[in-house]
């Protein structure tokens, strides 16, 4: 029976993209301090309770410029394996870099997570972007984009072959046994004999997701991915991305529309739009803006001299995207998004740009400020367009915001008929 098309909501389950005032806000609200793992297990609990399709854990393999909230983001596969023992339904998607990992190692780790979670594991393939991280992995510098995606392509080919060349077979004697075939991969970057010595879960292998929106990124997604994590900030850009992805899927002989794009979203909510705006202002009031300012453009490798926080932003000094496409650090699309956001706001202050670029959860993802009903109407409009499969939600102030979303928004989405009302019991891959 064909299942009704519900929105997929994933919960980004580590403290990435939090508002920079979140930690002090929690303290001001009297929310008790928790360790990294207590926070992670709390996210797990919310994952099941909010009927989220999956928890999504981003990966930061090295010290970032800005201070971490809670002692640093935990390694995703370790975190999700722990969470798997405290959850029943929610999918568990771990991010790991094809640039820094070895495919056999990663195939083992993720296959183990798939077993531990009884078929709820997923893998978000990224090529990573921060130069400093490369120095942690015996590299002299980060690979350029072309080399990163060539490696990602061969990496995913090996990973999937290792996962696919295994089966649990019922033998004539009535016993079920595990069989695996060697893969004998001899490529430019990897030589892997295989086979993988871990039995498949009830979903066969983990779901493959991909994040990285350049041309080569989309080409790799079209070959291997079953879900893509994107950063569309408007319905128009979501439609444009969808068209590009569908074309790439056709070139790979796959059906257009078969891989749902899931853009990130950072909601700021209240009973009314005014209350949501007040909440955002309160979070902003906990931020020390001056030390953050250098990261606003520095994250793209750009040096734009910024004056006083309350002065107008020097928009005339901002390089045009087409002039820096080859040299920009971080995702080029993030820069284009921020550039357009600034251009559309003549007279915007330095402080507002710093807030948009880093303070309120990063330049990458759409920020929504409004009432619970406004958000439901927004989701319904995007759902109706049919260009996204749902959203990867990043909550600006962690647990307090997720609680509010589950209590206030989830029932409204269910009433609206665009969100499931009961837990998904099927393996993660079958949900997409």
Ligand X SMILES: Cc1cc2nc3c(=O)[nH]c(=O)nc-3n(C[C@H](O)[C@H](O)[C@H](O)COP(=O)(O)O)c2cc1C
Options 89, 229, 339, 405; binder of ligand X; rule CB under 6 A = 229
Q: Where are the alpha helices (DSSP H) in 85-144?
A: 103-116, 131-134
Residues of the binding site for FMN: 59, 95, 149, 214
Of 22-30, 205-213, 288-296, 411-419, the segment contacting ligand X by CB under 6 A is 205-213
Q: Does residue 331 bind ligand X (CB under 6 A)?
A: yes
Q: Does residue 337 bind ligand X (CB under 6 A)?
A: no
CA distance 395 to 398: 5
Q: Does residue 213 bind ligand X (CB under 6 A)?
A: yes
Pairing outcome for strands 166-170 and 121-126: unpaired
CB of 196 to ligand X, least distance (A): 24
Pairing outcome for strands 185-186 and 191-192: antiparallel
Options 128, 232, 233, 237; binder of ligand X; rule CB under 6 A = 128
The CA dihedral of 381, 387, 389, 390, to the nearest 10 degrees, is -40
Of 114-122, 124-132, 158-166, 315-323, the segment contacting ligand X by CB under 6 A is 124-132
Task: Output 95 or 117, the one with its CB closest to ligand X.
Answer: 95
Pairing outcome for strands 227-230 and 207-211: parallel
Of 6-14, 208-216, 265-273, 355-363, the segment contacting ligand X by CB under 6 A is 208-216
Query: Which DSSP string corresponds to 378-419?
Result: HHHHHHHHTS-SEEEE--TTTHHHHHHIIIIIHHHHHHTTSS
Of 207-215, 240-248, 299-307, 424-432, the segment contacting ligand X by CB under 6 A is 207-215
Q: Does residue 332 bind ligand X (CB under 6 A)?
A: yes
CA distance 282 to 278: 6
- The DSSP letter of residue 267 is E
Q: Please report, as residue ranges, which positions from 53 to 82 form the binding site for ligand X (by CB under 6 A).
A: 58-59
CB of 64 to ligand X, least distance (A): 10
56: which strand partners? Answer: 12, 93
Task: Output 196 or 221, the one with its CB closest to ligand X.
Answer: 221
Q: Which residue has the tokens 């991909």?
A: 210
CB of 312 to ligand X, least distance (A): 30
The residue count for binding ligand X (CB under 6 A) is 19
CA distance 335 to 172: 60
CB of 77 to ligand X, least distance (A): 13
Q: Which residues contact 197 (CB under 8 A, 6 or more apart)?
A: 108, 180
Task: Output 192 or 211, the one with its CB closest to ligand X.
Answer: 211
Binding site residues, ligand X, CB under 6 A: 58-59, 95, 97, 126-129, 145, 211-214, 217, 229, 231, 264, 331-332
């Amino acid at each position: 029976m064909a299942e009704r098309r519900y929105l997929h909501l994933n919960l980004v389950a580590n403290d990435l993209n939090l508002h920079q005032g979140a930690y002090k806000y929690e303290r001001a609200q009297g929310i008790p301090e928790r360790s990294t793992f207590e926070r992670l297990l709390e996210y797990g609990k919310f994952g099941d309770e909010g009927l989220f399709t999956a928890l999504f854990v981003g990966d930061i393999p090295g010290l970032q410029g800005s201070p971490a909230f809670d002692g640093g983001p935990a390694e995703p596969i370790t975190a999700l394996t722990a969470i798997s023992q405290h959850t029943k339904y929610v999918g568990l998607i771990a991010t790991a870099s094809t640039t820094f990992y070895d495919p056999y190692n990663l195939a083992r780790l993720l296959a183990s997570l798939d077993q531990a979670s009884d078929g709820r594991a997923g893998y978000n393939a990224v090529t990573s972007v921060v130069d400093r991280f490369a120095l942690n992995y015996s590299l002299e510098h980060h690979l350029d984009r072309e080399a990163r995606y060539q490696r990602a392509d061969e990496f995913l080919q090996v990973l999937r072959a290792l996962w696919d060349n295994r089966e649990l077979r019922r033998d004539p004697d009535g016993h079920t046994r595990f069989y695996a075939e060697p893969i004998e991969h001899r490529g430019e970057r990897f030589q892997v004999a295989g086979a993988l010595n871990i039995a498949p879960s009830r979903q066969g292998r983990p779901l493959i997701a991909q994040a990285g929106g350049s041309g080569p990124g989309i080409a790799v997604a079209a070959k291997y991915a079953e879900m893509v994590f994107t950063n569309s900030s408007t319905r128009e850009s979501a439609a444009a991305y969808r068209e590009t992805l569908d074309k790439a899927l056709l070139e790979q002989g796959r059906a257009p529309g078969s891989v749902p794009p899931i853009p990130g979203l950072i909601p700021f909510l209240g009973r009314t739009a005014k209350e949501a705006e007040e909440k955002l202002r309160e979070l902003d009031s906990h931020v020390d803006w001056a030390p953050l300012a250098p990261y606003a453009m520095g994250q793209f490798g750009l040096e734009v001299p910024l004056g006083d926080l309350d002065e107008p932003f020097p928009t005339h000094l901002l390089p045009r995207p087409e002039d820096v496409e080859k040299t920009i650090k971080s995702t080029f699309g993030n820069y284009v998004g921020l550039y357009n956001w600034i251009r559309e706001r003549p007279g915007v202050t330095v402080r507002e740009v710093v807030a948009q670029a880093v303070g309120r959860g990063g330049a990458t993802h759409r920020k929504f400020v409004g009432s619970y009903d406004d958000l439901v109407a927004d989701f319904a409009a995007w759902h109706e367009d049919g260009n996204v499969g749902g959203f990867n939600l990043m909550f600006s102030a962690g647990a307090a915001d997720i609680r509010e979303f589950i209590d206030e928004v989830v029932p409204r989405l269910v009433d609206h008929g665009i969100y499931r009302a009961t837990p998904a019991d099927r393996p993660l891959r079958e949900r997409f």
